Chains A and B, each alone.
Chain A
Amino acid sequence: MNRKTVEEIKEQLRAPDALVKRTKYLAAAQRERTGGRTDARVRHIGRRVALAGMCAALAMVLAMPYLTHSNDGRPITNGSGQVVQGSENPDGFAGFELTVLAAPASAGTDGKVQTNEARLSKLGPTVEIPLADYSQLMSSVPGLPITIELMDETQADEIRVRAESGSLMTWDIESGTIDQAGGEYVVHEVWTNDPKLAAGSETVYWGPGDAEEAVIVVTAYQDEKEVGSQKIRIHKENGKYYGSLV
């Protein structure tokens, strides 16, 4: 291949300035949106902390008679007879240190998070269904999510998700856009197995339509050859859809 011709083609295939400028503008807007999302998350945690603080204050008010009175009902006093309030008690109690962890509202009292996203099943290291069940009445997701985790050791260069009934779609959470993929979806966030390149994950959603059950086939390809395949069977029971490995 003639190097001079290659260089001439390269010169003529430069990204148009208007495109670069437009993309910079969009990137800046995207960054602001991403920052906005972070702020929202911080505000969300802040609201939880404030709520926890109010609960703690209420608990303090309710507990005040017990903190300022001894077991026999007499007020706790210091040497000069002053009533001790809360953290100023004579035993050196330094007050409350309240640590609030951001956890779903369904967090249990034992400190463990009782997540409703318990992983139903795993397909090897790469494919999982993050919801235990799915109902068309759910407004939080557009369909039954199927997440393809792409680990560093992922060897496949292409992963295809095929639904024999119902339809597949992707959902951009930030913009709320849903793209219908039909019966087949090609996972495009496939990274190299080079550990320097980060792993990623992608979620595709299955919408049942009128289907009562479906089989979803996830197939991995390397260099255009099939290197592995997994099937998920979805069935409907009492109005909810459940997935299981075939």
Chain B
Amino acid sequence: METQSLRTDDCAEEIIETYADMVYRIAVSRVGSATDAEDIFQEVFLRYVRYACRHAFESEEHRRAWLIRVTLNCSKTFWSSAWRSKTVPLEERDCGVQFAGNEQSELFESLQALPEKYRTVLHLFYFEDLTTEEIGKVLHLKPTAVRMRLTRGRERLREAMKGGCCNES
């Protein structure tokens, strides 16, 4: 990825453009709803603007890790929000994410059904192409713990999909 100005308050639009899909995917993966993911998406980038006005990022990896961490934190806060948990019963929530094919829908729904700790690691590994070391840094886990979660997550996913193929690489 081309290195951009690391004092980033002057290129927020480019950063939003670059990381929009990543932030959106992580948010959808964590909250399971497109509408809620949009709220988190905006919150993440507004925080980014506030943060980038006062701080510089050391590298593009630093910036990406910051965005992933803040997206995860915002998603966690979203779920733990007392207002949210009291006003929208889980069973009434509309996912709002639809896929063209059954295979994608089945995989996505199976992923969503996994416990959060497995879902996050699987998502970062397969969808955002982070290495186990990078995931460890973002989630404050040792790489061995990340690999353990990956293995267990894949096992659970395989069970959930009843014989589906889970190749790792």
Contacts and interface: CB of A to CB of B under 8 A. Distances in A.
B91 interface: no
Residue of B97, B99, B104, B127 with highest tally of chain A CB at under 10 A:
B104
Contacts of B108: 9
Nearest to A34: B53
Contact of A1 (B49, B50, B107): B107
Contacts of B100: 8, 12
A12 B107 CA distance: 13
A14 B23 CA distance: 10
Contacts of B97: 13
Interface in B50-66: 50-51, 53, 55, 58-59, 61-62, 65-66
A194 interface: yes
Contact of A23 (B45, B80, B122): B45
Given A5-B104, A23-B41, A24-B16, A223 B53 contact: no
Interface in A1-31: 1-3, 5-6, 8-10, 12-16, 19-20, 22-24, 26-28, 30-31
Nearest to B10: A31
Interface in A215-236: 222-224
Interface residues of B, number: 61
Interface of B: 9, 12-13, 16-17, 20-21, 23-25, 28, 38, 41-42, 45-46, 48-51, 53, 55, 58-59, 61-62, 65-66, 69-70, 73-74, 76-77, 80, 82, 97, 99-101, 103-104, 107-108, 117, 122, 126-127, 137-141, 145, 154, 157, 164-168
Interface of A: 1-3, 5-6, 8-10, 12-16, 19-20, 22-24, 26-28, 30-31, 34, 155, 157-158, 181-182, 184, 186, 188-194, 196-198, 222-224
